[in-house]
C-alpha cells in the first residue's frame, strides 16, 4: 500500500487553480490546453504490454498537436507508472484527479488494474475511455462513465479458435485440451469462455487450473499438463507467464497439436524472447496492421517511422481511446464530462479498431478479434478469413496444424 499526499499539494493546488483559470486562448473552448492523464504498467510483469500503451498515447498526442490540437487547444499528456499493481494504480489515478486535475482519464493495462481504476473514475464522476480492460465484470457495475475500445469481451477471446475447430472435418478435430489460466480478472473471464466453447465443440477439458500471477516456476503446472497428454494446450494469461510455460513445455518435453495462448503471442517480444520455441504457437489479438479499418495502414507507417519497430495491437486500442475523446470533444465543442459522455453513447465512431457504437454498458458493439500464429519468426493472421464488421478479406495464412513435435 503506497502512501500519498504532500504538503506541497497546497502549492500545487494554488498553481493548478491559477493555470486552469488562465487567459482564453482557444476560441471554442476557452482553454489553451487539454490534459489527458493516466497510469500504465511501465515496470513489473505487465510492462511488456504497458509500454505499448505509453507509445500509443504519446504518438497520438504528438500527431494531434501537429494538427493544431483539439479545437485549437494543445494536448498535454501526463503518464505515471503503476508498477503493474492495482493499488498503486488507484493511488496514481486519485492523484491525477485530485492533484493534477486532468481533464480526461486514459486507461491502464490489464483488467485487474482497470477494474479498481474504473471504480475511482466512477466515484469522482469522471469520463473513462479505456483500451486496457475488457473483462465483463467491469461493465456490470453500473458505471455510466466507462467506455472500452478493445472490441472484444473477455469470454470471447477463444471464439476464433473454436470456430476454426468446428470448421474442420470431424475426424481431424482435436478432442481434448488442458486449460490453465492466470489468477486474475480478465484471464478468469477468458477461461470461462474457453469452458463454454469447448463444451459446445465437444472438446474435453482434462485440466482446469489457475496459477499465481507471481508464478516463477511452471514445472508443477506443466507436469500436470504432461500427465494429461492433451491434443491442445490452452492458456489464458499474459506474456511473462506464457513465455515461462512455453519454455517449461520444452524442458519437460511436452508436445501437443495446438498450443494456444490468449495473450502473449501477438506481442513482438514473444518471438524475440522465445526464438525458435515460438514457432507455431497461436494467440489472439485485437488488431493487426492488415485489418481493413480506417487509418490502420497510416498508423502502422507512423508508428514504424517514430519508433522504428513493429506495431502491436495495444498501440491501436490506446490510439482508439483518444480518437473517441477527440471526436466527442469536437462533437459537443466543450469539455463537459456529462455532455461528452452522452455524445459517446449516441453516436457512431470510425476508429482505427473499426467503426462502432457503444452499448449501454460501455463496451463497443463490434467484435474484431483475430487469431495469429508464429511461423518462422513472423506473426501471421490465421482466423477469421474475413473481418466481422465489413466482411472484407483479411490477408492471412492457413493454420499449421498439427503443431510439429520437437
By CB under 8 A, name the binding residues for other proteins. 1-10, 13, 43-45, 47-48, 83-87, 90, 94-95, 98-99, 112, 115-116, 119-120, 122-124, 137, 141, 182-185, 188, 209-213, 215-217, 219-221, 223-224, 227, 240, 244, 247-248, 250-253, 277
Residue 88's nearest CA partner among 46, 59, 56, 123 is: 46
Cell of 226: 504432461
Please, is 90 exposed, middle or buried when counting C-beta atoms within 10 Å of its C-beta (0-12, 13-18, 19+)?
Answer: buried
Residue 134's nearest CA partner among 107, 161, 160 is: 107
Cis peptide before 218 (omega within 30 of 0): no
Cell of 98: 485530485
Cell of 358: 457503444
Residue 317: helix, strand or coil by DSSP?
helix
The β-bridge partners of 379 are 374
Q: Report the C-alpha gap between 270 and 265 in whole angstroms.
A: 5
Instruction: Check if the beta carbon of residue 362 is closer than 8 Å to that of residue 346.
Output: no
Q: Report the C-alpha gap between 346 and 331 in whole angstroms.
A: 11
Q: Between helices 185-201 and 159-167, what is the axis angle to 10°?
A: 20
Instruction: Check if the beta carbon of residue 372 is closer than 8 Å to that of residue 262.
Output: no
Least separation in angstroms between CB 282 and other proteins: 20
Q: Which residues make Cβ contacts (< 8 Å) with residue 200, sequence separation at least 6? A: 162
Q: Taking the CB of residue 123, how many other CB atoms lie within 10 A of it?
A: 13
Strand order in the sheet with 258-261: 204-211, 176-182, 232-236, 258-261, 282-285, 370-375, 378-383
- Tell me, rounded to whole angstroms, the distance of Cα 154 from its chain centroid: 10
- In Å, the largest CA–CA distance within the chain is 73
Q: Which residues make Cβ contacts (< 8 Å) with residue 84, sequence separation at least 6? A: 41, 43, 44, 45, 46, 47, 50, 110, 113
Cell of 304: 514504424
Amino acid at each position: 500500500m503506497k502512501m500519498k499526499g504532500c504538503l506541497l499539494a497546497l502549492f500545487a493546488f494554488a498553481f493548478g487553480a491559477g493555470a486552469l483559470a488562465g487567459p482564453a486562448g482557444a476560441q471554442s473552448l476557452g482553454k489553451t490546453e487539454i490534459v489527458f492523464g493516466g497510469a500504465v504498467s511501465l515496470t513489473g510483469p505487465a510492462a511488456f504490454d504497458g509500454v505499448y500503451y505509453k507509445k500509443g498515447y504519446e504518438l497520438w498526442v504528438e500527431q494531434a498537436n501537429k494538427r493544431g490540437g483539439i479545437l485549437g487547444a494543445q494536448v498535454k499528456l501526463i503518464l505515471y507508472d503503476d508498477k503493474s499493481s492495482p493499488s498503486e494504480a488507484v493511488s496514481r489515478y486519485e492523484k491525477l484527479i485530485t492533484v493534477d486535475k486532468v481533464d480526461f482519464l486514459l486507461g491502464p493495462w490489464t483488467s485487474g488494474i482497470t477494474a479498481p481504476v474504473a471504480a475511482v473514475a466512477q466515484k469522482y464522476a469522471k469520463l473513462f475511455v479505456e483500451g486496457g480492460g475488457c473483462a465483463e465484470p467491469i461493465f456490470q457495475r453500473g458505471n455510466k462513465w466507462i467506455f472500452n475500445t478493445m472490441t472484444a469481451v473477455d469470454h470471447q477471446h477463444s471464439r476464433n479458435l473454436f470456430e476454426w475447430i468446428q470448421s474442420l472435418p470431424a475426424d481431424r478435430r482435436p478432442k481434448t485440451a488442458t486449460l490453465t489460466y492466470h489468477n486474475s480478472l480478465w484471464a478468469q473471464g477468458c477461461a470461462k469462455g474457453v469452458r463454454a466453447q469447448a463444451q459446445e465443440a465437444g472438446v474435453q477439458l482434462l485440466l482446469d487450473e489457475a496459477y499465481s500471477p507471481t508464478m516463477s516456476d511452471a514445472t508443477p503446472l506443466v507436469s500436470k499438463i504432461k500427465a494429461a497428454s492433451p491434443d491442445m494446450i490452452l492458456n489464458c494469461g499474459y506474456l511473462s507467464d506464457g513465455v515461462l510455460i512455453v519454455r517449461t513445455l520444452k524442458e519437460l518435453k511436452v508436445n501437443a497439436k495446438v498450443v494456444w495462448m490468449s495473450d502473449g503471442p501477438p506481442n513482438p517480444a514473444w518471438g524475440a524472447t522465445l526464438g525458435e520455441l515460438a514457432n507455431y504457437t497461436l494467440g489472439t489479438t485485437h488488431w493487426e496492421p492488415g485489418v481493413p479499418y480506417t487509418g490502420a495502414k497510416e498508423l502502422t507507417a507512423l508508428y514504424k517511422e517514430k519508433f522504428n519497430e513493429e506495431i502491436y495491437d495495444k498501440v491501436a486500442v490506446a490510439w482508439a481511446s483518444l480518437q473517441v475523446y477527440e471526436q466527442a470533444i469536437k462533437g459537443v465543442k466543450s469539455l463537459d464530462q456529462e455532455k461528452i459522455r452522452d455524445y459517446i453513447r449516441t453516436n457512431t465512431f470510425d476508429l482505427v479498431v473499426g467503426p462502432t457504437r457503444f452499448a449501454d454498458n460501455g463496451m463497443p458493439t463490434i467484435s474484431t478479434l483475430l487469431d495469429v500464429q508464429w511461423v518462422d519468426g513472423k506473426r501471421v493472421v490465421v482466423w477469421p478469413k474475413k473481418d466481422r464488421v465489413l466482411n472484407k478479406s483479411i490477408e492471412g495464412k492457413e493454420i499449421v496444424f498439427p503443431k510439429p513435435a520437437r
